[in-house]
Amino acid sequence: MEEKIYSMPRIGDKAPEFKAVTTQGEINFPSDYSGSWVILFSHPADFTPVCTSEFMTFASMAAKFEKANTKLVGLSVDGLYSHIAWLRTIKEKIEYKGMKDVEVKFPLIEDITMSVAQKYGMMMPGESSTKAVRAVFFIDPKGVIRTILYYPLSLGRNFEEIYRVVLGLQTADAFSVALPADWQPGDDVIVPTAGSCGVAKERMESKEEMKCYDWFFCTKKLDKQKILDTILKK
C-alpha cells in the first residue's frame, strides 16, 4: 500500500485554521486564542500510559502557563466520550508522582478522523499511520507558529523544557535578544550580532556591561526579575 505523506506547517507559518469539538466545547482555532500564546500538543490515544503521565503533568502546570499568558490545547486521536471518560479516570483514580485529583480544565480536541492531526503533520507513518505523534506547536498571539517540538510515541515530553521555550520566546521578543544554549531566566543573553564593521569595533571597545567572546558573540546580563515582571501576569 502506498504510504501517505502529510505536510507539516513550519516555524513562521500561520497556524492552520480549524473548528473542533473539545472537552470544553467547540473551538475555532487559532482565532479564539488571539492575543494569547497557545501550546497545541498532540497525543496518540486516550487511556495510554505515557499520555496519561503527560496529561497529568501538563494539567498540574496549567496555572504556571496561564501566568505566562499561554493557553493549553490538547489533541488526542479518540472521540469525545472517550476523552471525557479518560479525564474522569485521571481525576478520580490516578495518583502519579505526587499528582492526584488532577482536573484537566483546558480543552482536549476530539480528532477521531485525524483531520486536525493531518493539517498539522502530526502523523508520522514511520511511527504509526493511525496515531498522532507527540507534537508540540508554540503559537504566538498573532497566530504564527514559533517553535515545534516533535517526539516519538515511546518518549514522554519534558515539560520544564516546554515551559522554558515559552519563557524564552517571550523574553527574546520583549528584549530583542537571543538566548544561548541551556538558557534559563537570569542567565546572560546574546545581543544581536553586529551588522557592520563600525558596530563590531564599537562592541569590542565598548565600556557597556557587555561581555564579548569575539566581535560576533556578545552577551549581557538580563535580570531574572525584570524578565518575570515583563512577561508574567501580575
Q: Toward ligand BEZ, which CB reaches closer, 49 or 195?
A: 49
Pick the piece of the chain touching ligand BEZ (CB under 6 A) from 8-16, 44-52, 167-175, 208-216. 44-52
**Residue choice 30, 44, 121, 143 for contact with ligand BEZ (CB under 6 A):** 44
Measured CA to CA in angstroms, residue 56 lies from 17, 156, 163, 218 at distances of 27, 12, 15, 40
User: Taking a C-beta distance cutoff of 8 angstroms, is the pair 76, 42 a contact?
Assistant: yes
- With binding defined as CB under 6 A, does residue 74 bind ligand BEZ? no
Which grid coordinates belong to 72? 493549553
Pick the piece of the chain touching ligand BEZ (CB under 6 A) from 40-48, 91-99, 135-143, 199-207. 40-48
Q: Toward ligand BEZ, which CB reaches closer, 8 or 153?
A: 153
Contacts for 63 with CB less than 8 Å, ≥ 6 apart: none
- With binding defined as CB under 6 A, does residue 50 bind ligand BEZ? yes
By CB neighbour count within 10 A (0-12 exposed, 13-18 middle, 19+ buried), where does 81 fall? exposed
Q: Toward ligand BEZ, which CB reaches closer, 35 or 49?
A: 49
Q: Which of 98, 68, 72, 102 is nearest to 88 (CA)?
A: 102
Q: Toward ligand BEZ, which CB reaches closer, 123 or 179?
A: 123
For the CB of residue 92, give the shortest distance to ligand BEZ in the complex, in Å: 19
- With binding defined as CB under 6 A, does residue 51 bind ligand BEZ? yes
- With binding defined as CB under 6 A, does residue 198 bind ligand BEZ? no
For the CB of residue 46, give the shortest distance to ligand BEZ in the complex, in Å: 9
Active site residues: 51
Which single residue is written with the C-alpha cell 512577561? 231
- With binding defined as CB under 6 A, does residue 114 bind ligand BEZ? no
Q: Which residues bind ligand BEZ (CB under 6 A)?
A: 44-45, 48-51, 131, 153
